[in-house]
Chains A and B, each alone.
Chain A
Amino acid sequence: MGLRRVAITGAGTINALGHDVPTTLAALAEGRLGIGALDLPDIDRLAIRIGGQVKDFDPTAIHSRQELTLYDSFTRFGLHAAREAIAASGLDFAGELGERAGVVVGTGVGGAETLDENYAALFRDGKNRVHPLVIPKLMNNAAGSHISMAHGLRGPNFTVSTACSSSNHAMGLAFQLVRSGAATAMVTGGAEAPFSFGGIKAWEGLRVMSKDGCRPFSKTRNGMVQGEGAGMFVFEEWDHAAARGADILAEVIGFQMTSDASDIVMPSEGGAARAISGALKDAGLAPDEVGYINAHGTGTAANDRTECAAVRRAFGAAADDVMISSTKSMHGHLLGGTGAVELLACIMALRDGVVAPTIGYQEPDPACDLDVVPNAAREAEVEVAVSNAFAFGGLNAVLALRRV
């Protein structure tokens, strides 16, 4: 059997911009800011007090007490997004299809919130025991496993943890499973709940967080701002989707992952450029066929400069004609969930012809002299979109999608 084509037939999300795909896309198109003051206990002990928090989401209205005992926030976000994606796809995994369908989820810190709460109980409050279900609640594969249990997905199921590239790695591997014929459909994306007290303290220590906003590519940028939530998709064998008349959102056409093998935190132009070029090669594309890049665009000095240089290296002269934006300026950096929420911006560009902006842009930086779609969305016919993710540890994962 040759390679199969891969269709995206469902999408779901929850993030600081909204609790579903339509609300999120409307916010991305408007350039709405989802980042604001963090609402957390002991906030006065934190130096970083802003983030892209999910608002007005009451898990007790959705889940039973017993379920909540088992679900860390990242699992709740993952389940919420997966439910929307699967409903949109129209697929039912109860029958035989469920054995040919699986889950690949990306998460950076998994159940860190549960870990943090329970360490506090032991070390701060002096308790001598923790809840008996702490382990299944905090494990990184909890979200993926609960998604499979809720929907009868009985094929391959695994969780990828590659820091800020986690969800691009997850979706790339799901793409490869469907393309190779190993699975008919995969539910894939990422989920993250990074706003634990200990987690924020640890990030503060790295000195790369902004106290006042995420301004990718702007000369005035001063760091990253975190976000929480999830993005999930249904990747389905093209012929299977077409045969049942599914509404195909986009086609996944290329993926490449590379390792810098150089530094544990500083990004590398070469590693990033090889991932971008590799994804284009995998898709059989020339750089000038790409209309939009959803940037990793964290708003740190190091990432944005290195990413722009990598795009120039991979695209050559075509770099001057491609639009590149960072939607982290709106929803924040969801770490292991970020590429999944950002794939929505790629789908919006392809399907609706609307390119999401980089908001918060104040002043050009000569080191980032690409068309970063500053502050206002743009209407454009986009045939191919690329999504970049570059992680601490030097791990790069780039996806390419085509308009249907």
Chain B
Amino acid sequence: MRSDVKDKVVEIIAELAVLEPSDISMDSTLDELGVDSLGLVESIFAIEETFEIDVPFNANEPQASEFDISSVGAIVEAVTGLVEAKKG
């Protein structure tokens, strides 16, 4: 389940960054991958649609958000948490 989320998140970010999934490591930051603020809101939209979840993220306070976007690994963790919470 976890690796399933990981693969899909990496796929979403790779597509937005115009990279191959193999180019993306869990330590990568969106900044390093060249994903700007518009790319970020697009990736969150794609994540919400893919996993049928609501991601709590406000671009005005990305650090204060419950949704950690500090690295690809952090995003995978956060999405995994939201998907599990949805299952209850």
Contact = CB atoms under 8 A, between A and B. Distances in A.
A114 interface: no
Contacts of A264: 38
Interface string B20-62: 0000000000000000011001001100000000100111110
Contacts of B59: 206-208, 223, 300-301
A385 B54 CA distance: 44
A120 B60 CA distance: 31
Nearest to A303: B60
Given A205-B45, A207-B44, A223 B60 contact: yes
Interface residues of B, number: 12
A210 B59 CA distance: 10
B60 to A, nearest CB: 4
B56 to A, nearest CB: 9
Contact of B61 (A47, A206, A222, A266): A222
B44 to A, nearest CB: 7
Given A265-B38, A266-B37, A210 B60 contact: yes
Q: Is the interface of A mostly helix, strand, loop or mixed?
A: loop
Contact of B60 (A47, A205, A208, A266): A208
Contacts of B64: 222
Contacts of B61: 222, 301
Contacts of B41: 205-207
Q: Is the interface of B mostly helix, strand, loop or mixed?
A: loop
A221 interface: yes
Interface in A226-283: 264-266
A237 B55 CA distance: 54
Contacts of A205: 41, 45
Interface in A291-341: 300-302
Nearest to A206: B41
Nearest to A224: B60
Contacts of A47: 54
Interface of B: 37-38, 41, 44-45, 54, 57-61, 64
Given A208-B60, A222-B61, 16 more contacts: A47-B54, A205-B41, A205-B45, A207-B44, A207-B57, A207-B58, A207-B59, A210-B58, A221-B60, A222-B58, A222-B60, A264-B38, A265-B38, A301-B60, A301-B61, A302-B60
